[in-house]
Amino acid sequence: MGTLLLRRVLVVAAALAMLTAVLAAMSQASTASTRSGGSSLVLRGPKTNKYGSDFDYTISGTASGAADYLVAWEQYYPQSGCASTYAAESTRTFLPDTYGLTLWLNRSVSGSYSALAEFGASHLGKHGMCAYLINLSTGDTYAHGGAFWTNVK
């Protein structure tokens, strides 16, 4: 019984540590509206892909003012679309069996930008990409977008 109790205490402690980290991340990032300060973000790519084929998505736009960083995740299990802020989407990384997020792009940008995300249609079904133009220091969201596609046989 002692080992089982110790395991439960460790699991509860780990869960509390993750919850604390999520709340800290959310409290440090404001919910700035999209396209604030003239920044923008657009995703372009196919809606349907043949299983086994390669395909690309382009993320482009304008980073102005404090917007200086581009982050994009693939949603392996799209649920209800993309969150409206970087802070809200990043909390979904703690739910891998629900959203299946994979960090796809993570880079600095300035002015007009364009980034290529390369994919392979190796899993059937619906998938998505959620992208955020943020200020790296604050986590504030200046623009966001989402795109969803289906890989078919």
Compare 57 and 18 and report the one with higher pLDDT.
57
Mean pLDDT of the region 20-45: 57
- In three-state secondary structure terms, 38 is helix
* pLDDT given for residue 52 in this prediction: 92
DSSP string, 73-141: EEESS--S---SSHHHHHHGGG-TTTT-EEEEEEEE--EEEEEEEEEE--S-EEEEEEEEEE-TTT--E
Nearest one of 94, 101, 96, 100 to 14, comparing CA atoms: 94
**What are the tens digits of pLDDT across the range 67-120?**
999 999 887 666 778 889 988 888 777 565 655 456 678 899 999 999 998 888
d(CA 79, CA 81): 6
Tell me the C-alpha to C-alpha distance, in Å, between residue 99 and each of 71, 73, 95, 111: 16, 10, 6, 31
- Residue 10: pLDDT band by 50, 70, 90 thresholds? very low
* pLDDT given for residue 62 in this prediction: 96
d(CA 2, CA 37): 57
* pLDDT given for residue 150 in this prediction: 93
Written as one letter, the residue type at 33 is: S
Domain coverage including residue 94: 2-152
* pLDDT given for residue 106 in this prediction: 85
Q: Whole-prediction pTM value?
A: 0.72
- CATH number (domain holding residue 71): 2.60.40.2550
Q: Name every residue whose Cβ is closer than 8 Å to that of residue 107 and which is 6 or more positions away in sequence.
A: 69, 70, 115
